[in-house]
């Protein structure tokens, strides 16, 4: 069989591309650093756990103390890199690049799933209101921090998951969730949440600017902590999705056909929706609403590798990671940094229109 | 193998199937026939487990299909859907491989059996040739075979097909049904909704006629496809003959509703009480054949002649079991034949002239018709194109035409009933005269 080989070759190629984009991105900025130095500095960042210490962690709000293992890490490599360069690459640029890659990876994977799930080329990860829900949580946390004591990222994540659950619950009747109802429920809930966001923005006062920047998607001031929050959800989610690629293919034939081919349609739909929502929420919670990655990247990859999810899902995810790292590099390259959501939309929308005019995205 | 018990399905408050019961033996090819909207697709969907019935039970091999998981039922029943348009550029081979989904485990690669089944399905259907092309780039007929290949790869004891031949050309229709017949020969049980009655009759072991939300009739094609049942199910006038090539029933739908507008499903009570006991047809060609078919469909006893044995009207009469007075083509009429014609005309309540061709040999027929009463004239070709016997024959024909009642091929049954009404009070027995027969060869 040549298919596993093809999947592996494409995935490896796109991983190499991602690394190349990451090194290039880390080399660019106010301080230019040689790519070789960048690569060495990046290797220096790699750590492995070398010891465990058990401490305690207090659950917010509930004041519960839970035992929590703390790992000690040690560096794998110790290349000679000038201290300031090591700091710039390892502590400033690399966390941002890693977060961009994580978010891009997750959004493109979730977009692939949603487009297949809805059999609709205009579907994107936020189609059932996940991003709007995250935005409500985030804007509430920014504008009224006293009312939302759980912090911005938790609020955004909770808002996203609650919205996805709400839309699913609205659209489900008698154990069935028709895709069209889900889509319409998503649109209606998004409109409602949009009104809530606008209301909060009007009354946000001093924090308006911060809220607007969050809404446009941003990766500035990213820390390794952000990466640590987002990456486990995204990686685990995409891995589980990877086990359901055959079901995704069969679902493309229509739900009744899928049932006749042995796919438990409603259960699979719920699982795909839940995973895509968690992945999207984990990305949006740390980076704000970044559009077009989840819409355009799966389309481009579908044109290149075809509709088979077994190859489409990994390649879309990897390409999404490269795409967001590259666009974020552009976002911070100018004299004044712009939110990355503006760059992805500015490049993604015209490209999408170009594809549309060439009539290549009329069908999935 | 398949047992459907008291199945009822309604969409909202529209009832689609009511108390349908049906059992199908293992290894048979059953065709579902019936008019559009009769519930064939709904019945198939209920049997496949895709549609939960409101009441009733569907059991396959003794198991309730609606209690099975998708995976379990997909190892028992495979379905070839009506709409097989795929708008994704999957390779044909990938689509066929999807047939193995019910047997694959999530993390292991395809087994040897999976591969063999797919290879076998590709080969049997002749799909191998274009297995690497995109499903979007193959023709409708090829796509249908891809879906059949998928079903073969799925390898289930029961196969359901919804209009597998709709939108295929005649060659692909036959090819598709031959393939399905092979599956039946392998021991699979097949139920297929088939629009084309002739194809259904030709390939199916049994037909189930679904009409008016229930099973109207089931049995071998010859017993299900009769004019009367077709009239009930389809509200159509149709003649059933035998295909000379395959020997299976052939249904020819004729224009006009069943029995001059009687209701579908209506009983014989609706038949006109003045309906003629017998109609004699004199004529030839497709016009006469059409008249015979309509009379037969309306359950009116008919006879035809003299007619050349090679004529299409004679063939139709033979197929429909209608008495015919046959003669050698182009031969002169013999005294015996003329006497028989006189007898037929006098026995009949109505005589119909249908595109009668006049040659040197049969001019005497016009004389015999001179006394026929009442007389109906059906024409679809001008007389001059049918006359090879000159002015004399023309005059005699014109006389018949002017006193006869004119009728279209489509309305002949109504006209026959009309003239019977008019003559019902009058003694319409034709005079039983015996005329001298002369040979008039030139």
pLDDT band for A1, please (50, 70, 90 cuts).
very low
Cβ-defined contact of B88 to A243 (cutoff 8 Å):
no
Cβ-defined contact of A259 to B104 (cutoff 8 Å):
no
Q: How many domains does chain A have?
A: 1
Q: Name the closest residue on chain A to residue B101, using Cα atoms.
A: A261
Is there a domain that residue A11 lies in? no
Residues of chain B with Cβ-Cβ distance to A243 below 8 Å are: 106-107
- DSSP conformation class of B357: -
Residues of chain A with Cβ-Cβ distance to B94 below 8 Å are: 249, 308
To the nearest whole angstrom, how far is the Cα of A59 from the nearest Cα of chain B? 37
To the nearest whole angstrom, how far is the Cα of A247 from the nearest Cα of chain B? 8
Q: For A262, which of B70, B90, B94 is closest by C-beta distance? A: B70
Is there a domain that residue A32 lies in? no
Q: What is the per-residue DSSP string for A128-191?
A: TSHHHHHHHHHHHHHH-TTT-TT-HHHHHHHHHHHHHHHHHHHH-BTTB--HHHHHHHHHHHHH
**Residue in B81, B72, B57 with CA at minimum distance from that of residue B7:** B57
Q: Determine the average pLDDT of the residues in B80-100.
A: 84
Cβ-defined contact of A249 to B98 (cutoff 8 Å):
yes
B53 pLDDT higher than 60: yes
The CA distance from A285 to A109, in Å, is: 16
B272 pLDDT higher than 60: no
Is there a domain that residue A201 lies in? yes
pLDDT at B156: 94
Cβ-defined contact of B78 to A260 (cutoff 8 Å):
yes
pLDDT at B87: 66
Q: Determine the average pLDDT of the residues in A161-175.
A: 92
Pick from A263-267, B122-126, B296-300, B375-379: least confident: B296-300
Most confidently modeled range among A273-287, B236-250, B340-354, B360-374: A273-287
pLDDT band for B100, please (50, 70, 90 cuts).
very high
Q: Is the CA virtual torsion A248, A250, A252, A255 positive or negative?
A: negative
pLDDT at A113: 95
The CA distance from B164 to B365, in Å, is: 51
Cβ-defined contact of A259 to B102 (cutoff 8 Å):
no
The CA distance from B122 to B118, in Å, is: 6
The CA distance from B186 to B28, in Å, is: 10
Write out the residue range of the structural domain in which residue A173 sits.
Answer: 95-357
Q: Name the closest residue on chain B to residue A264, using Cα atoms.
A: B70
Q: For B71, which of A262, A363, A364 is closest by C-beta distance? A: A262
The CA distance from B242 to B222, in Å, is: 9
B24 pLDDT higher than 50: yes
Per DSSP bridges, beta strands B375-378 and B405-407 are parallel
pLDDT at B270: 43
Residues of chain A with Cβ-Cβ distance to B98 below 8 Å are: 249-250, 253, 261
Q: Name the closest residue on chain B to residue A304, using Cα atoms.
A: B89
Q: Determine the average pLDDT of the residues in A284-307.
A: 88
Q: Determine the average pLDDT of the residues in B409-425.
A: 78
- What are A's interface residues with B at a Cβ cutoff of 8 A? 1, 4, 243, 246, 249-250, 252-254, 256-257, 259-265, 306-308, 363-364
Pick from A12-16, A273-277, B54-58, B164-168: least confident: B164-168
* Beta carbons within 8 Å of A156's beta carbon, 6+ residues apart: A134, A135, A137, A138, A141, A281, A284, A285
The CA distance from A361 to A345, in Å, is: 18
Q: Name the closest residue on chain B to residue A310, using Cα atoms.
A: B94
- DSSP conformation class of B242: E
Give the whole-number percent of chain B exceeding pLDDT 70.
90
pLDDT at B263: 39
| CB-CB neighbours of A220 under 10 Å | 13
* Beta carbons within 8 Å of B32's beta carbon, 6+ residues apart: B40, B43, B44, B191, B192, B193, B194, B207, B208, B210
Residues of chain A with Cβ-Cβ distance to B110 below 8 Å are: 1
Would you say how long chain A is, in residues?
Answer: 364
Q: At what angle do helices A224-242 and A265-287 cross, to 10 degrees?
A: 160
The CA distance from A153 to B38, in Å, is: 58
- Per DSSP, the three-state class of B211 is strand
| CB-CB neighbours of B252 under 10 Å | 17
B176 pLDDT higher than 70: yes
Phi, psi of A128 (to 5 degrees): -100, 20
Tell me the pLDDT tens digit for each residue of A46-62. Answer: 888 777 777 777 777 77
pLDDT band for B295, please (50, 70, 90 cuts).
confident
pLDDT band for A278, please (50, 70, 90 cuts).
very high
To the nearest whole angstrom, how far is the Cα of A102 from the nearest Cα of chain B? 25
pLDDT band for B98, please (50, 70, 90 cuts).
very high
From residue B81, give the alpha-carbon distance in Å to each of A255, A261, B16, B162, B328. Answer: 12, 12, 19, 5, 52
Domains of chain B, earliest start first:
2-234 (3.40.50.300), 272-423 (3.40.50.720)
Whether the CB-CB separation of B66 and B58 falls below 8 Å is answered with: yes
B266 pLDDT higher than 50: no
Pick from A109-123, B238-252, B304-318, B405-419: least confident: B238-252
Q: B360 CB near a chain A CB, below 8 Å?
A: no
Cβ-defined contact of B101 to A250 (cutoff 8 Å):
yes
To the nearest whole angstrom, how far is the Cα of B304 from the nearest Cα of chain A? 54
| CB-CB neighbours of A360 under 10 Å | 13
pLDDT at A324: 95
Whether the CB-CB separation of A200 and A143 falls below 8 Å is answered with: yes
Q: At what angle do helices A130-143 and A265-287 cross, to 10 degrees?
A: 30
Q: Is residue B84 classed exposed, middle or buried when 0-12, 13-18 and 19+ CB atoms within 10 A define those classes?
A: buried
Q: Determine the average pLDDT of the residues in B71-76.
A: 92
Q: Name the closest residue on chain A to residue B103, using Cα atoms.
A: A262
Most confidently modeled range among A172-176, A197-201, B296-300, B425-429: A197-201
Cβ-defined contact of A261 to B94 (cutoff 8 Å):
no
Is there a domain that residue A88 lies in? no
Place of tokens 């960048």: A38
pLDDT at B422: 75
pLDDT at B255: 67
Give the whole-number percent of chain B exceeding pLDDT 90.
24
- Per DSSP, the three-state class of B101 is helix
Phi, psi of A62 (to 5 degrees): -90, -15
Query: What rounded mean pLDDT belongs to chain A?
Result: 88
Tell me the pLDDT tens digit for each residue of A79-108. Answer: 888 888 888 888 889 999 999 999 999 999
Cβ-defined contact of A261 to B101 (cutoff 8 Å):
yes
B427 pLDDT higher than 60: no
A362 pLDDT higher than 70: no
B434 pLDDT higher than 50: no
* CATH number of the domain within which A103 lies: 1.10.3470.10
To the nearest whole angstrom, how far is the Cα of B190 from the nearest Cα of chain A? 15
Is there a domain that residue A51 lies in? no
Cβ-defined contact of B109 to A264 (cutoff 8 Å):
no
Q: For A261, which of B49, B91, B102 is closest by C-beta distance? A: B102
Q: State CA A359 to chain mean position distance.
A: 28
pLDDT at B204: 93
Phi, psi of B3 (to 5 degrees): -125, 120
Is there a domain that residue A39 lies in? no
From residue A53, give the alpha-carbon distance in Å to each of A64, A69, A71, A72. Answer: 19, 6, 6, 8
Is there a domain that residue A238 lies in? yes
The CA distance from B130 to B132, in Å, is: 6
Cβ-defined contact of A261 to B74 (cutoff 8 Å):
yes
Q: Determine the average pLDDT of the residues in B93-114.
A: 89
Q: B118 CB near a chain A CB, below 8 Å?
A: no
Q: What is the per-residue DSSP string for B130-145?
A: GTTSBGGGS-HHHHHH
B392 pLDDT higher than 50: yes
Q: B90 CB near a chain A CB, below 8 Å?
A: yes
B15 pLDDT higher than 90: no
A265 pLDDT higher than 80: yes
**Residue in A82, A105, A98, A67 with CA at minimum distance from that of residue A33:** A82
pLDDT band for B425, please (50, 70, 90 cuts).
low
Is there a domain that residue A247 lies in? yes
Cβ-defined contact of A261 to B99 (cutoff 8 Å):
yes
Q: B70 CB near a chain A CB, below 8 Å?
A: yes
pLDDT at A244: 94
């Amino acid at each position: 069989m040549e298919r596993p080989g093809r999947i592996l070759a494409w995935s490896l190629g796109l991983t190499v591309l991602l690394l190349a984009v990451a090194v290039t991105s880390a080399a660019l900025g106010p301080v230019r650093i040689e790519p070789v130095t960048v690569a060495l500095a990046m290797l220096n960042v790699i750590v492995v756990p070398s010891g465990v210490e058990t401490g305690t962690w207090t659950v917010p709000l509930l004041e519960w103390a839970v035992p929590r293992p703390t790992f000690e890490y040690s560096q794998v490599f110790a290349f000679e890199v000038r201290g300031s360069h090591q700091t710039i690459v390892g502590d400033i640029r690399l966390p941002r690049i890693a977060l961009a890659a994580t978010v891009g990876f997750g959004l493109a994977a979730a977009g692939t799933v949603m487009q297949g799930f809805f059999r609709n080329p205009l579907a994107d990860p936020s189609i059932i209101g996940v991003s709007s829900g995250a935005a409500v949580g985030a804007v509430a946390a920014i504008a009224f921090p006293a009312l939302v004591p759980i912090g911005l990222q938790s609020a955004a994540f909770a808002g996203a998951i609650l919205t996805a659950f709400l839309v699913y619950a609205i659209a489900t009747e008698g154990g069935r969730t028709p895709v069209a109802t889900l889509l319409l429920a998503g649109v209606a809930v998004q409109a409602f949440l949009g009104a809530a966001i606008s209301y909060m923005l009007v009354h946000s006062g001093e924090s308006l600017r911060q809220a607007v920047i969050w809404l446009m998607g941003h990766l500035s001031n990213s820390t390794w902590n952000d990466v640590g929050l987002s990456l486990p959800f995204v990686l685990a989610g995409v891995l589980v999705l990877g086990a359901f690629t055959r079901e995704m293919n069969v679902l493309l034939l229509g739900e009744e056909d899928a049932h006749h081919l042995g796919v438990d349609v409603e259960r699979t739909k719920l699982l795909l929706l839940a995973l895509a929502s968690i992945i999207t929420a984990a990305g949006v919670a740390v980076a704000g609403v970044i559009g077009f990655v989840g819409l355009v990247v799966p389309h481009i990859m579908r044109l290149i590798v075809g509709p088979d999810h077994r190859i489409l899902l990994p390649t879309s995810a990897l390409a999404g990671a490269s795409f967001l790292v590259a666009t974020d590099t552009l976002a911070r390259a100018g004299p004044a940094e712009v939110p990355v959501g503006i760059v992805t939309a500015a490049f993604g929308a015209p490209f999408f229109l170009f594809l549309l005019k060439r009539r290549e995205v009329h069908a999935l | 193998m398949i047992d459907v018990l008291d199945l009822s399905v309604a969409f909202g408050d529209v009832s689609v199937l009511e108390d349908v019961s049906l059992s199908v033996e293992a290894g048979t090819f059953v065709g579902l026939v019936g008019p559009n909207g009769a519930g064939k697709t709904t019945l198939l969907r209920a049997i496949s487990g895709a549609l939960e019935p409101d009441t009733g039970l569907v059991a396959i091999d003794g198991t309730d299909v609606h209690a099975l998981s998708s995976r379990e039922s997909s190892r028992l029943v495979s379905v070839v859907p009506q709409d097989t348009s795929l708008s994704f550029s999957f390779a044909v081979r990938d689509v066929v491989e999807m047939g193995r989904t019910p047997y694959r485990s999530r993390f292991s690669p395809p087994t040897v059996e999976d591969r063999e089944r797919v290879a076998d399905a590709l080969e049997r259907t002749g799909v191998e040739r274009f297995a690497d092309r995109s499903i979007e780039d193959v023709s409708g007929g090829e796509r249908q075979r891809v879906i059949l290949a998928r079903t073969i790869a799925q390898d289930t004891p029961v196969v359901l097909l919804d209009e597998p031949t709709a939108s295929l050309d005649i060659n692909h229709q036959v090819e598709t049904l031959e393939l399905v017949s092979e599956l039946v020969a392998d021991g699979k049980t097949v139920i297929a909704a088939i629009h084309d009655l002739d194809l259904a009759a030709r390939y199916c072991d049994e037909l189930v006629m679904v009409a008016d939300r229930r099973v109207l009739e089931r049995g071998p094609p010859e017993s299900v496809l009769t004019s009367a049942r077709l009239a009930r199910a389809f509200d159509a006038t149709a003649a059933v003959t035998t295909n000379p090539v395959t020997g299976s029933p052939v249904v020819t739908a004729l224009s006009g509703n069943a029995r001059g507008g009687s209701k579908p499903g209506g009983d014989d009570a609706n038949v006109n009480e003045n309906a003629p006991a017998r109609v004699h047809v004199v004529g030839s060609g497709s016009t006469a054949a059409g008249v015979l078919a309509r009379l037969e469909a309306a359950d009116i006893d008919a006879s035809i002649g003299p007619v050349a044995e090679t004529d299409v009207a004679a063939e139709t009469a033979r197929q429909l079991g209608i008495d015919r007075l046959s003669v050698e083509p182009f031969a002169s009429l013999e005294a015996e034949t003329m006497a028989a014609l006189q007898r037929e005309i006098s026995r009949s309540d109505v005589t119909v002239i249908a595109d009668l061709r006049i040659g040197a040999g049969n001019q005497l027929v016009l004389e015999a018709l001179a006394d026929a009463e009442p007389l109906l004239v059906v024409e679809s070709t001008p007389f001059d194109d049918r006359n090879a016997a000159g002015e004399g024959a023309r005059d005699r024909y014109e006389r018949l035409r002017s006193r006869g009642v004119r009728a279209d091929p489509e309305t002949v049954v109504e006209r026959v009933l009309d003239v019977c009404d008019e003559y019902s009070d009058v003694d319409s027995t034709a005079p039983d005269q015996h005329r001298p027969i002369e040979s008039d060869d030139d």
